Amino acid sequence: MLLKCHYCDPVITKKMREQGVKPVKSIDTEKHEFVKDEKGKYFHAECYGYYLLEKKKMSIEEADRKVAERLLITKKEIREQEEKDKFLRWIMDYYDGTLPSYFLKKLKAVREGTYEGLNEPIDYAILLDIYQRMANYLNKIAAKKTFKNTTQRMNYDLAVVVGNYGDYKKYINRLKEESEKANEVQKVMKEQEKINHIVKNKKEDDSFSLTDVIDELLL
């Protein structure tokens, strides 16, 4: 995607547009590091630094901090939008339709943590993961129930997904714990293999000592 840099790209006046002059958009979001300021204007990261120095009269240290701050915020916003787009594409494909406004309103409440019965926000990546894991289950429920339209089913399914969020967190935590235990076992096994190798070599030298093993493990 190309975006206009509000520092280095020229301003195109109405008269220039009437003459056929096209806006310049020099920020390539796939290649360039860029920021979005509080007013929603985009800048190359380097250009934003110059803008702060010249227009806002900041010191170099202040400008550097501000650039770093806006870079983090911009990257977070981009990641959020990408995850949202991916989730909504999956939803449209799953329900083979469009996105009803009422569903989007409820979805917004889920993302902000204001959905009824929810005490924390759920991000789009997690929502997508839950939906994908529950897809077959949701289809089975739909086969047994009668919905007036797809919108009603979408709202119902969203309530089911949110209702299972607590169990989902427990499941993910259990997977994490099991992964940590497995990693610890692997670590112990590798240490044991190292000890066995040292012991074997020491025995072959016919001068085995536990102190030798410990010394080599600490190297």
How much is the mean pLDDT over the chain? 89
Q: What percent of the chain has pLDDT over 90?
A: 75
Last-in-domain residue among 46, 79, 112: 79
Contact 133, 95 (CB under 8 A): no
CA distances for 102 relative to 85, 98, 108, 131, angstroms: 18, 12, 10, 19
Q: List the Cα angle 157/162/168 in 5-degree steps.
A: 115
100-126 mean pLDDT: 96
pLDDT at position 202: 58
Query: Tell me: the pLDDT tens digits for 154-179?
Result: 999 999 999 999 999 999 999 888 87
Q: Which of 51, 79, 107 is the last residue of a domain?
A: 79
Is residue 9 domain-resident? yes
26 within some domain: yes
How many domains would you assign to the chain?
A: 2
Which band of pLDDT confidence, cut at 50, 70 and 90, is reported for residue 193?
confident
- Structural domain for 171, as ranges: 167-218
Q: Considering 79, 111, 131, which residue would you say is the last residue of a domain? A: 79
Entry pTM: 0.74
Rounded to whole angstroms, the Cα distance separating 104 from 98 reads 11
Chain centroid to Cα 170, Å, comes to 20
Does residue 155 lie in a domain region?
no
Whether residue 109 lies inside any domain: the answer is no
Does the residue 195 lie in any domain? yes
Amino acid at 212: D
CA–CA distance, 177 with 187 (Å, rounded to integer): 15
Distance, in Å, from the CA atom of 200 to the CA atom of 49, rounded to the nearest integer, reads 62
**Residue 118 and residue 165 in contact, taking contact as beta carbons nearer than 8 Å:** yes
Q: 94-110 pLDDT, tens per residue? A: 999 999 999 999 999 99
